[in-house]
């Protein structure tokens, strides 16, 4: 009895610690997911604003041209209105507030547009096509000038169906996110939804700016797809597994103890994975936001400096895309959903394109890059995207774990009926005892000189999976202080399907 208590007590403590760790992971995952959703929603709202402003500015420019060129522009205005589906109604008022176009009110518009005639004599809207939004975000006002130099107040409303079809759908349909994005009017009614809301859970909402005041872009989570629910399922499985373990411990103390240690270690590694990915996501996002806000506020007047800022935003976006691609592909591999599309592919352009994506960090950190691709390789049957991603992970590791000697070599040649695609560096190196472990998911080398270099821990696991999926493998030659040499071995000919 005492032996059983001595066994159950420490295992119970481990269960509690594991449960708390997974709860912390749940909170971290949920927070990260919400931050990503908010950033995605803000960028989507800005895209909608930009498209709407561009369309309406083009309409106002044409309207100003007509007024500037013709003293009796009624027919031209009718034609413009028929060619601008986004504009539902258009009225022009003179400085005294009298309606000059069209000759009569349409479909009871007097109650909506009539009170706006008083704005004709005010300075509320600027000249030159800039405008303001009034009447709950439904009507736009702009002050224009006729051919005689007279001021005209243009008041136009938007056609909701056209707004939904030509602005909201193109801007929001292509968003890569498991969430549902919807646009809500001032009353909270959905004007547009990328998918049926149904029982979806409301997560958050961000407001639009000047073009759609009081409107909001809302993000909904489909039922059963929230990160916290996935983590809770793992918490439940974790608890059940340890309940079964308590029974098995009676028959085998040593085996049960080892299993407990493994479960606890995996929970810690998963928590570290979330923390590292959160950091790696926030770093490029912070840089993109900082440079984007600086450009938006007009603080950079020099064109050359602006181009540099745009370049930084592009590079950080590419870096962010690589990290997200790694995480998404890892998720697909874990779920058995990762597929590969083999096609004849030339190796040299693939290598060059991958290195071009790292041109800035390589140049910034002073790397000497040597590339050697054998001329007789021809086209090989492989998934270019997957091999490019694996090669990018190896190049990124070489940059991240470089030492004082900044040299990167990429070599591709045929060896013994296989393609040997090698990435070499002269960086920190890896101890022999850890060569096999570094290809495991979440594993990171445990030396002090590598711990300051964050990483998700899935890059090399993806490299190995890609190599094996192509019927090949990956090897490593490395020693501390002597750099590393990773080689992807791929068959030169695809084996016939069984």
Domains of the chain by residue range? 53-161, 343-491
Q: Give dist(CA 354, CA 474) in Å, integer.
A: 18
CATH of the structural domain 53-161, one choice from 2.40.160, 3.30.460, 3.30.450, 3.40.50 = 3.30.450
Helix (H) or strand (E) holding 411: strand 407-415
Helix (H) or strand (E) holding 444: none
Distances (CA, A) of 128 to 158, 450, 492: 20, 58, 64
| pLDDT at residue 112, rounded to an integer | 82
The number of CA neighbours under 13 Å toward the Cβ of 337 is: 6
| pLDDT at residue 125, rounded to an integer | 43
Of the candidates 394, 402, 407, 412, the one whose C-alpha atom is nearest the C-alpha of residue 351 is: 412
| pLDDT at residue 351, rounded to an integer | 92
| pLDDT at residue 459, rounded to an integer | 79
| pLDDT at residue 54, rounded to an integer | 92
Q: Give dist(CA 207, CA 360) in Å, integer.
A: 36
Residue numbers of the chain with a pLDDT score lower than 50 = 124-129, 447-453, 498
| pLDDT at residue 452, rounded to an integer | 46
3-class DSSP state of 415: strand
Residue 391 tokens, joined? 């090669």
| pLDDT at residue 394, rounded to an integer | 92
Q: Which CATH architecture has domain 343-491?
A: 2-Layer Sandwich (3.30)
| pLDDT at residue 297, rounded to an integer | 79
Q: Give dist(CA 136, CA 191) in Å, integer.
A: 15
Question: Cβ neighbours of residue 241 under 8 Å, at least 6 residues apart?
Answer: 263
| pLDDT at residue 299, rounded to an integer | 75
Mean pLDDT of the chain: 79
| pLDDT at residue 80, rounded to an integer | 93
What radius of gyration do the chain's Cα atoms show? 31
| Cα 10 from chain centroid (whole Å) | 43
CB 480 within 8 A of CB 428: yes
Q: Give dist(CA 94, CA 101) in Å, integer.
A: 10
């Amino acid at each position: 009895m005492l032996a059983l208590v001595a066994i159950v007590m420490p295992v119970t403590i481990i269960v509690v610690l594991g449960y708390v760790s997974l709860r912390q992971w749940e909170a971290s995952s949920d927070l990260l997911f919400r931050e990503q959703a908010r950033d995605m929603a803000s960028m989507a709202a800005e895209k909608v604003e930009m498209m709407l402003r561009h369309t309406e500015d083009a309409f106002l420019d044409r309207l100003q041209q007509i007024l500037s060129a013709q003293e009796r522009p009624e027919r031209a205005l009718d034609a413009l209105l028929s060619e601008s589906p986004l504009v539902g109604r258009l009225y022009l008022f003179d400085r005294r507030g009298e309606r000059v176009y069209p000759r009569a009110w349409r479909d009871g518009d007097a109650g909506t547009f009539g009170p706006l005639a008083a704005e004709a004599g005010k300075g509320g809207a600027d000249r030159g096509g800039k405008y303001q939004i009034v009447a709950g975000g439904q009507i736009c006002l702009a002050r224009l000038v006729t051919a005689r130099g007279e001021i005209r107040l243009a008041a136009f409303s938007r056609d909701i169906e056209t707004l939904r079809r030509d602005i909201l759908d193109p801007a929001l349909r292509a968003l890569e996110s498991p969430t549902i994005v919807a646009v809500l009017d001032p009353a909270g009614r959905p004007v547009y939804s990328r998918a049926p809301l149904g029982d979806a859970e409301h997560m958050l909402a961000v407001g639009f700016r000047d073009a759609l005041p009081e409107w909001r872009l809302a993000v909904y989570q489909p039922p059963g797809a929230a990160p916290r629910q996935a983590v809770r399922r793992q918490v439940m499985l974790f608890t059940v597994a340890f309940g079964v373990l308590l029974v098995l411990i009676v028959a085998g103390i040593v085996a049960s103890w080892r299993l407990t240690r493994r479960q606890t270690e995996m929970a810690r590694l998963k928590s570290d994975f979330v923390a590292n990915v959160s950091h790696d996501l926030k770093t490029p996002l912070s840089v993109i936001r900082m440079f984007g806000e600086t450009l938006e506020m007009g603080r950079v007047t020099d064109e050359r400096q602006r181009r540099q800022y745009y370049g930084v935003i592009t590079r950080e976006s590419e870096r962010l895309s690589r990290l997200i691609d790694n995480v998404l592909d890892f998720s697909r591999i874990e779920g058995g959903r990762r597929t590969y599309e083999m096609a004849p592919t030339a190796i040299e352009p693939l290598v060059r394109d991958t290195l071009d994506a790292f041109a800035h960090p390589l140049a910034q950190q002073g790397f000497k890059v040597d590339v050697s691709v054998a001329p007789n390789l021809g086209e090989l049957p492989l998934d270019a995207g997957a091999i490019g991603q694996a090669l990018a992970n190896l190049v990124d590791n070489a940059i991240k774990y470089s030492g004082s000697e900044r040299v990167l070599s990429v070599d591709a040649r045929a060896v013994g009926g296989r393609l040997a695609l090698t990435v070499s560096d002269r960086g920190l190196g890896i101890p022999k005892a850890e060569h096999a472990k570094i290809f495991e998911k979440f594993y990171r080398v445990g030396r002090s000189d590598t711990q300051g270099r964050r990483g998700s821990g899935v890059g090399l696991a993806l490299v190995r999976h890609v190599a094996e999926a192509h019927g090949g493998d990956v090897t490593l030659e490395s020693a501390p202080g002597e750099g590393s040499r990773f080689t992807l071995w791929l068959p030169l000919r695809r084996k016939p399907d069984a």
